[in-house]
Structure 1
Amino acid sequence: MAGVLRDITEHKLNVYPSLTPVRQKKRHMALNRNDWLCAEVDNLVRANILREVLYQTWVANPVLVKKADGNWWMCVDFKDINKACPKDNYLLPEINWKEAESAFQDMKKVLAELPTLTMPIASETLTMYLAASKEAVSSVLIVDRGKTQMPVYFVSKMLTESEVNYSSFKKLVYALVHTAQRLRRYFQAHPVVVLTDQPIKQVLYKPEISGRMAKWAVELGEHEINFSSRSTVKGQILADYLAELPADIEASSEYQDIPALILAPWELYTDGACSTSGVGAGADALSKLDALAFDRLGKRVLIEELQAKSIVMMPLVASVEESSSTWMTLIVAFLRDGTSPADSVDAKKVRTKAPMYALEGDVLYQKSYLGPYLRCIGPNEAEEVIREVHEGACAFIRGTCLLCQKLCC
């Protein structure tokens, strides 16, 4: 076939070598059929699909078959050569060249209308849309060129068995993390604005998060990622991203035929008894306290009624005044209002460090995975703490390890 080199692909008939070629006798056709057949052969010759040979080995006659619409369909009688070849379990489909040409033109039209990926300009702001379904997550990275949104990259991922159990919100966050991992070069070179109607920023930077969400918050903190509400949607490219969080009842259509009695909420009655060996009434002696029957308690259970708090807060004698700006100022402003420094380098440092801290009121704490939160102090207060350790009531303590433990507690 024209345009295809033989070193790339070549069609060859696997004929038994012991058989001799068969030359069929010429079959005469009616004049109208003969004219139509000659015109069709000329078309195939001009398309370089057929060519003339002088010394034939196998010769087969063409056969005209009338189609339902009244036109003719040209076939070739390959009965003799089929008998001479081994049986093929993977046969090629029959192709009508006119229909194939029409399908080829339709395919070229579809390919020509596909969105073309665009190369972003240096330091250009990129926009991201996220989508999550039951078994997959996807995202699209685009740039605004005038009034048109041009795609830069598409990312999608099938969820594993454990990831399918994520909530819809966590799947969106996972889509953002997966895209940041795949397109790291874009996230490091461009600021990214995530358009979504979910409070991803508020959840990632709240102090109560832990586990996987905290890990993702730290991982995303190194990039310049801003979040904005998705008020309007532009471009046909976003058609597949409109259903961002489908309703759970739609995803669970297989349960719609179950009677309402079975889907009703269950009520669990328990006395609070629980132990490592199981649960049930009387499993723990402390569960008997609710009945206020103290005579039934075993001798191993002791009860003490406290009349006042066991920990008495000492009054604060004096507070140390800090300067207007310390090392904590930028982190506190970012956690409280989402304000970032104007300098891009300082902004990146703040975003990287912020997930490792928590803000409680006006006090900044550093998170700890294996211990309590550590209270952050400024330079003046740190100097006062060190002076108290060396010269105050703790002056008799010696040793570097003990001193570090005192300062960290």
Structure 2
Amino acid sequence: MKWAIELGEFDIEFKPRPSIKAQALADFIAELTPRPRGPGNNSSMSTNLDTWQIFVDGASNSSGSGAGVIIISPDKQTEIQCALRFEFEATNNEAEYEAIVIALELALCLELEFVKVFSDSQLVVGQIEGSFERKEEKMSLYCMKVQDLQRKFKSCEITKIARKDNGKADALSRLMFMGVDGLDRTVHIKIITEPNISQILDIMDIDNKPSWMDPIIEFLTNGNLPSDARLARSIRDRASRYCMISGVLFRRSITLPYLRCLRPSESSQALAKVHEGVCGNHQGARALAFKLVRHGYYWPTMKKDASEYVKNCDKCQRFGNVIHSPAEDLTNINCSAPFEQWGVDILGPFPVARSQLKFIAVAVEYFTKWVEAEPLATISEPKLRAFTWRSIICSFASSEQRSDRVTNRIILQDLRTRIKDARGSWSDELPSILWT
């Protein structure tokens, strides 16, 4: 951007250098690919307006990962075959994406304008088309990379084909695992040392929009204050509760570690991750705000934002507790030491999960509120005795057990919120519910 601004004054257009990896591969192929003979040799000019076919495939196993790329001209007279080996760890889906990215970069270096890419990966093609959800961050980055490359062509279509119709590209993707001795000289071999996306996956991207942090950062960094005396005094007073560490603003705390300050775009992502992420249990507004502080985050309106987020959460509204029983006095249970008294109860039956699991044995320690739970296929005395012996007596040496129903409601509420319609997966969600 800096060079573009500097050179724009002299009517000079700045274009960034294309990918070195793809350009080196293109030069390598152009050097070794035989050119058609004949007067004028204008075949490349006449075929640029037609569609070139590109077949790609990626493979990954214990020996490594690689990809195969086949580029076929519209007249079927020219066929370029590339065998790629990756010197970095990649899953099968990542290898499929790498094959598409390298193929499109190669087509750009060869100055092709109309291309049609064929891949036998239903997941990758579906994510690029938007019909499949991109749950992993790496898949999202690869998909955005492919879509950016597609916009550089006049026409670029990525199509799903059957595996049997992509046999040559599949063979090329596995060719590097078997060694390169004795290969046909028309097959171009390339070693790829780095992936086409950044390995550092940022969960929160810092934006440049004005926020509540900017005046404090400006004062702590440069000592600048606004001209308004009242506003300047307010910023000076607030800045005493903050500090800058490695260019990041943190809030000081008396009883807690330093809390990282978040901008509005970052705070919305933090709310989503903590409320309904891997370790989230769709807690209420006050619990959500307190959990954000325990995770080490802070912004001035976090309680208000947490309340609004919970009100707008679809699952919280669908499966929230509605208390119909009249209020009554609580009964105290006195216990003098941790892990001395336990409440034991049974939940179920639930929809049948894997291994025919239908029930949950639950134990709650009264002093610390520690919870032990175990899914069971059937309710029988030997199974309950084994659960009590293994999870309570052997682990905590408890001396007294009672029946308890307080924590049951919490577990049932979290299960309903998490699994929604996928009721057979409740046993997989139970460990994360106990952790939160």
- TM-score, normalized by the shorter chain, greater than 0.5: no
User: Which protein shows a greater Rg?
Assistant: 1
Richer in strand (by share): 2
Richer in helix (by share): 2
